[in-house]
Amino acid sequence: MNVHAVRAIYLFEMHRWVRTLVQSIAAPVITTSLYFIVFGAAIGSRMPSVNGVSYGAFIVPGLLMLSILTESISNGSFGIYMPKFAGTIYEVLSAPVSAAEVVLGYVGAAASKSIVLGLVIMITARIFVPYHIAHPLAVAAFLVLTSVTFSLFGFLTGIWADGWEKLSIIPTLVITPLTFLGGSFYSIDMLPGIWRTIALFNPVVYLVSGFRWSFYGTSDVGVGLSLTATLGFLLACLTAVTVIFRTGWRLKT
């Protein structure tokens, strides 16, 4: 393992993130705070509890997941796309650095940013709604696992994209709608039978459900199934990265 190479890539990405801290941290926190104000305070005060949890507290895991998924993909995709755009990717590919070390540096930095953002949003949520954490270790595990998995997915998105506009297609047109329809603001048990069945085909349901269980001990699907689905997606992303570096698809051509 070339520790110096991994450290160089990781620190470069983290320093770039620090230079854009307002955009990277403040903007998502402000957006999420508005969700808490509108849904948690204004609407939540007029709604009954959901599965024994006040509505304002109920949406905390869903809003966290929405921010983490979006930021993980954005950070992961931008990190690898910039070297492609600037032409410096060839210096990385020609250096004595393995594919695993390149991925570890870029994805590790992207995941670190998402974890920090998640922690900041959790602290911010305390200002608007009271909530408790039933399983702190599970919260940490889901936070790290989700950040790593979708930073890796963002890394794949950055390799696939051949223009700036494509970097926003996946987060905006795919992930955000799936998150809103994945039980972020409601329990899928509240849906009619056929729609609940359809919702189970939404992969984000399992992420939100597992994250909510770690907070309150209640979920729409089993926590084991949520964990399995996340690990399965992580394995699929790792397989895709392996194939890409072996063939050089969108990297060497």
State the average pLDDT over residues 118-128: 89
What's the Cα-to-Cα distance from 108 to each of 3, 9, 76, rounded to whole Å? 13, 9, 9
Whether 95 shows a pLDDT value over 70: the answer reads: yes
Most trustworthy range by pLDDT among 26-30, 34-38, 150-154: 150-154
Whether 33 shows a pLDDT value over 90: the answer reads: no
pLDDT higher at 31 or 150: 150
Query: Using one digit for the tens of pLDDT, what is the confidence trace for 193-205?
Result: 788 888 888 888 9
- How high does pLDDT run on average in the chain? 87
Q: What are the DSSP calls for 196-229, one per residue?
A: HHHHTT-HHHHHHHHHHHHHHS--SS-HHHHHHH
Residue 58 makes CB contacts below 8 A (sequence gap 6+) with 49, 50, 51, 187, 212, 216
